[in-house]
Structure 1
Amino acid sequence: RFAHTTVRSSVVNSGSKAQSIGFNVQIPKRAFISNFTMNVNGITFMGSVKEKTVARNLYAQARARGKAAGIVRANSQDLETFKTEVHVPPGSNIEFELHYQEMMHRKLGFYEHTLFLQPGRLVPNFQVDVYIYEPKGIANVHTPNTLGDQFVFSSFCHQAHVVFKPTLQQQKKCENCTNTAIDGVFTIKYDVNRDSNAGELQVSDGHFVQFFAPSNLSPLPKNIVFVIDVSGSMWGVKMKQTVEAMQAILDDLSIDDHFSIIDFNHNVRCWSEDLVPGSSLQVADAKKYIQSIKPNGGTNINEALMRAVQMLVKASNQGLIDPRSVSMIILVSDGDPTVGEIKLSTIQKNVKRVMREEFSLFSLGIGFDVDYDFLERIAMENRGIAQRIYANHDAAEQLRTFYSQVSAPLLRRITIQFPEDSVSDVTQNRFDKYFSGSELVVAGKVLPSDSDTLTSFTTASAALLDITMETEADTTELDQELAKQQHSFTGFARQMWAYLTIKQLISERALAPTAVKKRKITQRIMALAVEHQFVTPLTALLVESEDARERLLADSPKDPKHGCCSGAQQKASDVPHSIFTRVFFFFSLLQGITSSAVLPSVDNDPHFIIHLPTSNMDVCFNIDSKPGDILNLVSDAGTGLVVNGRLISSKQPHKGKLSTYFGAISVYYEPDGISVTVHTGGIAMSDGANSHSFTWGATAEVTQDGVRISIVKNSHVTVTVNNHTQVMVLLHRVWKKHPVNVDFLGIYIPSSNQYSPLVHGLIGQFSREPEVSVHDVRPGVDPMKNEATMEVKGNRLQVTRGLQKDYRSDAKRGSAVSCWFVHNSGKGFIDGHYSQYIVPSLHSFLHAP
């Protein structure tokens, strides 16, 4: 039940020219990458997991020599994509090998192992082998039919082997096709034999794993309050899919269950103020109520959850529910709070304060606008789990599947214990609930002992009585059996213990009440991850050539809804830029691959990125100004050029603050009296006497005197002055009915622009690159973000390492730019105070600070 997956690929550049050879593997999010090796023309690159700070410093050294790769990280539905490209000459041989490990989670009665087969071309030797070994025996195995019938399947009592080996002809989409038909999911579902409800105890390599999955028990009655977000952002497919799912979920309720429905936007409404039995009459009435919901308004999560808890407390105090029943709240939401209490930490504290120990909260976040970290924290802290629901055509099925996993509670208050002198470092062994078709897993280390057996004791509350169960295992027998198996994973117990421990520590870290506690947990995670070679959010995989001169770096992806630095917030575009996972490694070997330069830019909220070519460094800062303010970006009295931007605000506050963006950008060239004003509704060009307007809906190019504008349909406009100065303005569109976000503009100005010595402005001043030194690099309060001291313009600044977005090549998702973040609106890095760059009109020149 612990899978070790190896993906190998051998490629030959048989062409007559150098070309990029790629290796692209999708892996489950719950998996940890454990190694990656690459051999290019006899040069071997070996991977090793290190603390993230150590790995990044080594990587930075290689990058400074031009011997390293770039990184972009993001997330997708249930996957991460590992992708590397190597630029090699003709005749080159390249071999890739990726290893990752994961624990199989039992859901709805099955373990599921999924491989994503997308070779992208016909492969002469394509083969998949899956080996399963279970000491107690395999009860059943289901193989897929989505990829055709080219399978060889063999199964014995304790092991199974599935082979998928299509010939070249079988891989073809049609008889004469040259493209592959293999583009799908290879899924194997299986379950194991169980001797008794007491569970299965396995001991191997000085570690133990206890699997507990009883069946044939009567379900416990359940009390459910469904809390459904019906704010304006739920309009359309999200609400339609939620209503469809609720119809099926309500049909699943029995007469022994009690339920109610709370729907909320800026107001909170209860279908019933009290819990009611799940009778056919009540269910029918609830279904009608759900169908009548019309999404609109804001999001008041705090009051909705308070009302749900009050409903459960009232029913419990009045003795209206079975004392052996299970009480839960299921929250379905697609966005952050915008009404009432909007501070997430306060909402979290409020819910924790009123929730009783016997209640659980399950959080379902629809889409990517929702702060999934918040939903996960609030669920974990209240004995539940969170799950992201992807807002696509099968969202209703995702909701129904989640509900199916929690719809049949069989046990409460489960404790799995061992004699104190027999084990140590035990993972979580107390569980609030056990649901039918799932499994509870406990692991730990086995202490040296004269005994050759290990015993576990399990206690739990069932529907009618409290139960106690006992099971034992021989401490040497399993290792002897594994040694006989050709394809067994002999270190599984040790790695599973580390996997479980790290996952639980990551959860504890998210809930740590103090910085000291968080640091201690962080140190434990990093030590375990390095020892067991897991790429986690706090470690990285450094891949080095044998002489350690060439390096690649692989980080674990983070959840997309995060800014780079303190105070930074990434706003979503119409399709959130982090919907598709990519972990890119572009490794330049031999001739290499050149990457585009980073331009001084302003985008999003508004985030400035200043590229310093001489220092080979990117520095970023935010400007925290007011809506309506006009900021000067470039002011060059010597050439008569000025570039200004007017700020607009989001529709509603986010976390107590109105976000600001550029809503209009003006480029004014005084010698010809020509101005170009770009706003989200269109582009205007004027010479003072005549004005021409253009929409974003068509590609066009217009030249007047020394000024040329080039419009790319619904994308960007480039303003060129006298062929030596360029300004690119990028359009960001969002959903028109989005309750918070608005359309906005980003601006990119090349460092190669030619100005006079008089140039200034928030961006213009850096045409004269200041001397910048960064030293004393150290772990920050957040270990994932280094801090350092920057010396610039006679100032010593405390800066933070982070990521900002460059949206030129990908307007929806953007590409990551690693930079040193200067706090307090760039104070000390820019000349003077940011307020000195506020000008009275879009054509105003700056009086330099």
Structure 2
Amino acid sequence: MAHRARLLIIAAALLGVAALASSASAAGLLLPRDGSIPPLALKHHRVTIDVRDGTAVTNIEQVYVNSTSRILEATYIFPVPDDAVVMDFRLMINGKMQKGEVLEKERANQIYDDIVRRMRDPGIIDWIGKNLFQARIFPIPANGEQKITIQYTQVLPFLDGTYKLSYPLKTTQGTAQTLEDLTLTARISSHVPIKTVYSPSHRISVARPNENEAVIGFEGDKVVLDQDFTMYFGVSKKDVGLNLITYRPDGEPGYFLMMAAPKAVFDTDEIQGKAITFVLDTSGSMTGVKLEQAKKALTWCLDHLGDDDRFNVVRFSSDVEGFEKGLVAASKANVEAAKRFVDGFEAAGGTAIDDALTAALTAKVGQDTHLVLFLTDGRPTVGETEPKAILERAAKANGNRARVFALGIGDDINTHLLDALADGNGGTSAYVKPGEDMDTQIAALYNQIAFPVLTDIQLDISKVKTYAVLPSKLSDIFRGGQLLIIGRYRGDGDALIRLTGKMTGSERRFDFEETFPAKRDDNAFIASLWAHRQVGFLLDQIRLNGETQALKDEVVQLAKKYGIVTPYTSYLVVDESALTVPRPIGPRPPGLVPRPTVVPRRPMPEESRAPAGGFSYDDDEADGAAVRTATAPKKDAYKAESGAGAVDAAKTVRRLKDKERSESEVSAVRRASGRVFSFRAGRGWVDNDASGTEDIAIAPYSAAWTKLAAELPALKAALGLGELVTIKVGSLTLVIRAGGLTTLDAKTIARIKAGTR
């Protein structure tokens, strides 16, 4: 009974926070003049950004919902984006131009102080120190909607050939979401050809109509607004462009992220023809839907071969049969004959993986890049069946350095064999779980590798010491693709980066001059991306070669520092609403209905949900907060070669190794202001480097709290973690808690800045 009562108390407390947090909108607030009414909820948020040679014109459409039975007057607040010189700012309300004003930081901070005291929301801290646009809006119809359209022009920051485009989406409390859609479209045009396009924050689509234009899109329904939209795009006149982004905190080696991409448009003679061998398992276990889907996908691939391509199809079960003895031209007659060959496949017999690989890898290919697309749903049962021997024989047979792309179907496969086969031969591996559409995944994989542009890539960086560079073996670059290289560096200064490879059979060299700085505070996401990829690399070594104490220790060290779920670590996943002390927000006017659908339990990042990412969550309850324990596949799954657990482990490792986005952390570990914080019962977020002593305590939402953010903006991310935070500043330990200082004098500010007791 007591347990049930406690759950009801928790639910009521969380609902109180939800009523406030659900109303907070990204990139602006619509605050009723009546302080007892929370900010209005955001129905939809649509953004169009037109960028021409580094100047961006942003058009925003937001629709807010007034759930009260009263006509409201409100103030619209919009924080002006960082790193931008705003040239113009216009506000349209219901189709009419309205007056507003842009306030400089000093006046804006006074308004932010008022908002902080009214909303008691740590997320507001990020706005302090920014310019502010505000406008009065009246009337807002009762039980109705208010449409606001904003336009502003800004000059994008540009460094070493790379533009950075940011748009504020992160909401206060970090838990709100749109009632309907969030849609963002960016149209980029540049007189210097566009090469690289990358977003560390969102999964974007990129269309390249020509060399000088790109269209970027993101769309989602009921999107959780927990991080700002960030995108980088690089420009270069070279056939292959390379751009560098760095992050280097004080006292540590730096982190770097390189993006390499070819031009978007090629003449016919600039795309080298490829040699491709399709290898398909037709053993008895492929009977039924699996074989029909595979045949359909293979037929689609044959229809999309290029005029200059050569190909072959190899079928294997207990025996091996080729469409032809060797590679043949992709003529219409040959393609039609191959499709008839595929149509006649029947599922029967065992699985002769070794013989099939030998047949594919010993083909005579000449100067063309040879790609092998290998599909199987089973383990080797005919001929050589020992995985180690199969890998050795494949390496010996692959004198032409063919790229092997392995696709495992179902759970009864040897994941260790397929992963090692692909990684050791310049390709990648992927897996189709039971019930997933195989034909779609095969077609998607073929599309990615259909047009090789730069192959046999080598990277050399001079004058700066780099290490722990991932991937350790660089993959080929295909048309429409992009190569991300991430690593650490020591030293600083100007460096020569040389990228070499083969393009249309000829050796090519591309030189780039870039700077590795001694200190750089922004782009902290690179450290997290590197850590995730490094953990993926280490787990792969453990899977394929066995566990050693050194590998295990490094995995645990990185997992603890960055809050990464691994077989050796699990973390409490804490609802964001449980991390802020709930409090009443004043009497609720009649007709103001909370929208529980706006703030559900904080969703986990897509790649962290079982079974796709191999993670699972166990519901629990601790310290009065709703929590879940996030766990990776068990260690036994990493040791196993076959089975559902082994496939989940393989997919988890692949996602870590290929991680490109800085999704919000899923555990009670956060990185903020260059520090690592852990959530501890009764103490809130605690800097892992902080001692148990308390030197200065500051009350959240007080004048001291906002002044600290304004004077030390580098601490804003840490202050925004919540109402109970411990931060190490030099030798000082700051504690944000109730009962702390409400004002700060100049002497105390100077002491904090100096970081001395």
Q: Could you state the TM-score of these two structures normalised by the residue count of structure 2?
A: 0.48
User: Greater share of strand residues, 1 or 2?
Assistant: 1
TM-score scaled by length of structure 1: 0.43
